[in-house]
Amino acid sequence: MAADPPVQLRRVSVNVLTDIGWIRGVLHVPALQALTDYLHVAGPVLKLTAAELPGEFGPRAFLALPRAAVHLVTPLLSDALLEPLGLIGRTVPRDVECVLPGGVLNGRMDVLVNVRVSDYLKQQTGLLLLHDAVLVPPGKPRDDPAAEGLGHAIVNLEHLIGISE
């Protein structure tokens, strides 16, 4: 019997916010799997290659990040496979603010029509995807020069202090 062919992987460059700051690296995601799906099933650690820690020069070949250490993940490039195609439907964008230990993440999440944000959040497990995300330092306004535009942000709900509409 022939062995199954190896799974084709795509390289997804990401920034990962942790307690020590931003770690840059590469995730190796199955070619046809959405990034959010991959992060849901990646197991207890995220495996990064070419990982760069804050304040260090030169990447590490490999770094395993415990899931509990990850506050949020942002893909560095536009990714057509960011979320599963089956989730695309009749949605309405909702502006939300996620309160995190290091600031407030403003962004937009897509919620099914006629579903309240609070009901949508009850159904979420582990991760929350925001579009047009901006990370604002504590106590600063959204338009502060220190605010960071992140594009897409995948928030680890374990680190979320609160969320508001």
> What gap in Å lies between CA 163 and CA 165, rounded to an integer?
7
> What gap in Å lies between CA 87 and CA 129, rounded to an integer?
12
> What gap in Å lies between CA 96 and CA 105, rounded to an integer?
8
3-state helix, strand, coil in the chain (%, to 5): 15, 50, 40
Question: Could you tell me if residue 44 is left (phi over 0), alpha (psi between -120 and 50 degrees) or otherwise beta?
Answer: alpha
Mean pLDDT value of segment 84-108: 84
Run of H or E residues at 122: helix 117-122
**In the chain, count of helices (H) and strands (E)?**
2, 10
CB atoms within 10 A of CB 24: 16
- For the stretch 20-40, pLDDT in tens is 999 999 999 998 888 988 998
Given this model, what pLDDT does residue 88 score? 57
Between these two residues, 122 and 79, which has the higher pLDDT value?
Answer: 122
> What gap in Å lies between CA 46 and CA 64, rounded to an integer?
6
- For the stretch 37-94, pLDDT in tens is 899 888 899 999 999 999 888 899 999 999 899 999 999 876 567 776 555 568 889 9
Residues paired with residue 51 on neighbouring β-strands, in sequence order? 60
Run of H or E residues at 120: helix 117-122
Scanning the structure block, which residue is given the tokens 């999440």?
109
Average confidence score pLDDT of the chain? 88
